[in-house]
Amino acid sequence: MSGSSSGQGDAGYVSSKIPQVSVGGTGAGGGYTVDPDGAPRLLKALREAREKLVELSDIDEHFRHVPKPDGDPYSIAAVEAIERRLGSEPGGYVWANKAAIAQLDALIVKLEASLKIYRDVEERNRRKFGRGV
Between 57 and 32, where is the model more confident? Answer: 57
The answer to whether residue 19 sits within a structural domain is: no
pTM, two decimals, is 0.69
The answer to whether residue 6 sits within a structural domain is: no
Range of the domain at 59: 39-129
- Identify which of 7, 112, 123, 99 has the alpha carbon closest to the alpha carbon of residue 50: 99
CA dihedral 83, 89, 94, 99 (to 10 degrees): -160
The answer to whether residue 8 sits within a structural domain is: no
Q: Do the Cβ atoms of 97 and 53 come closer than 8 Å? A: yes
Q: Render pLDDT for 37-61 as a digit per residue (tens, 0 to 9).
A: 888 999 999 999 999 999 988 887 7
Q: Render pLDDT for 57-88 as a digit per residue (tens, 0 to 9).
A: 888 777 777 777 888 899 889 888 888 888 88
The answer to whether residue 96 sits within a structural domain is: yes
The answer to whether residue 25 sits within a structural domain is: no
Give the percent of the chain with pLDDT over 90. 32
The answer to whether residue 11 sits within a structural domain is: no
The answer to whether residue 18 sits within a structural domain is: no
The answer to whether residue 1 sits within a structural domain is: no
Q: What's the structural domain count of the chain?
A: 1
